[in-house]
Amino acid sequence: MSNLLDPAILFFVFGAFAGLVRSNLEIPAPVSRFLSLYLLMALGLKGGFALAKSGVTPEVAAGLGAAVLLAIVVPLIGYFFLRRVLGGFDAIALAATYGSVSAVTFITATQHLDNIGRPYGGHMSAAMALMESPAILLAVVGANLLRRKTAGGQGAAPLSVGKVLHESFTDGAQLLLLGAMVVGVLTGEHGKAVMQPFSVDLFKGMLAFFLLDMGLLASRNFKEILGKSPLVLAYAIVGPLTHAALALGLCRLLGIGAGDGALLMTLAASASYIAAPAAANDAIATTTIMIPLRRARSQSRTDADRPPHRCVPALHKTAARALGLRTHRPSHPARCSAPPE
């Protein structure tokens, strides 16, 4: 019960309540993006400082290997089930969403482990970064293979896995996370002492503010699930539990510790609510299965109050083209960015 009364969790609940009662409470989009980037930077630094202290061990290698394996297996399992209840392209898009990961979910899990005093490895931040893109890459490949079997495949955008890989590892959010981790490894204990007032002391408050925003977005988008297939809704509940159970079995097989195992289970159970849905927004021009949370933010503003268009990140533009999706050219290219998950 004490964990449920954590201030950050309660701010999420409060945000959900405010959204359900249709309050005009709202976190400006630039503030939300700053909070996202701050959390990723703080997480990367924390992981880097921990790696500088522990070094690369067999357990680190096992954790990273398990992360990559799960990032490949989870979307394949999702597609195998969803293909039975959805069309091919819809199944690919939704499987990619559940196969990718959520940084915010991961950050919340690390905060919980800190609260209960359960140690975990700094390399798990790198594991999270490695797990984001494989599902999207598999979606690109799967959509192209499926398109070749259909009459609508003519004129489809050519597959460019190399470009997708490049844009995956240069995406701003991932690059910040990995860059902060490198800074943490290079500076070690000295860097930790210098950055503590910013990356440690402020972390809890920033997380609470960000979860308030997440609660608002989730509640305002809740009505979108009405009318969806019961089997799809069942997968939304059973799927993450199955993925977490798979991660648990893998952790036991490889001898991964409790803290790292809990984070790996969290990553396996989490789903992308920006990255993969952005790539599948208006998917294949006919799908209705993808519901990007960003839509709730844009619909809650009048035209006068709406911020400049936030485009799909570079990686997901490439994925969208390969999937045959519609993307929009931003009117403010310099401001083209989407918050991390």
Of the two residues 100 and 313, the one the predictor is more confident about is 100
pLDDT at 340 > cutoff 80: no
Q: Which of 170, 308, 306, 289 is nearest to 229 (CA)?
A: 289
Domains of the chain and any CATH numbers: 28-218+225-291+306-326 (1.20.1530)
Q: Region 248-276: what's the mean pLDDT?
A: 88
| Strands in the chain per DSSP E | none
pLDDT band for position 310 (50/70/90)? Answer: very low
Which segment of 33-37, 156-160, 199-203, 309-313 scores lowest on mean pLDDT?
A: 309-313
DSSP secondary structure, 198-243, as one string: IIITTHHHHHHHHHHHHHHHHHHTGGGGTTS-HHHHHHHHHHHHHH
Instruction: State the SS3 of 270-313.
Output: CCCCCHHHHHCCCHHHCCCCCCCCHHHHHHCCCCCCCCCCCCCC
d(Cα 137, Cα 195) in Å, to the nearest integer?
35
Question: How far are the Cα atoms of 73, 75, 84, 113, 281 from residue 80, in angstroms, in the given order?
Answer: 11, 9, 7, 33, 21
How many CB atoms are closer than 10 A to CB 327? Answer: 17
pLDDT at 139 > cutoff 80: no
For the stretch 159-196, what's the b/e string if a residue is b when 16 or more beta carbons lie within 10 angstroms of its beta carbon? Answer: beeeebeebbeebbbbebbbebbebbbebeeebbeebe
Residue 213 DSSP one-character state: H
Q: What is the pTM (predicted TM-score) of this model?
A: 0.68
Cα-based torsion angle of the residue sequence 322, 91, 278, 241 in order, rounded to the nearest 10 degrees: -140
Sign of CA dihedral 29, 40, 76, 78: negative
pLDDT band for position 245 (50/70/90)? Answer: very high
Looking at residue 154, what is its pLDDT? 52
Looking at residue 143, what is its pLDDT? 74
Q: Which of 75, 51, 100 is nearest to 316 (CA)?
A: 100
d(Cα 272, Cα 132) in Å, to the nearest integer?
8
Looking at residue 307, what is its pLDDT? 39
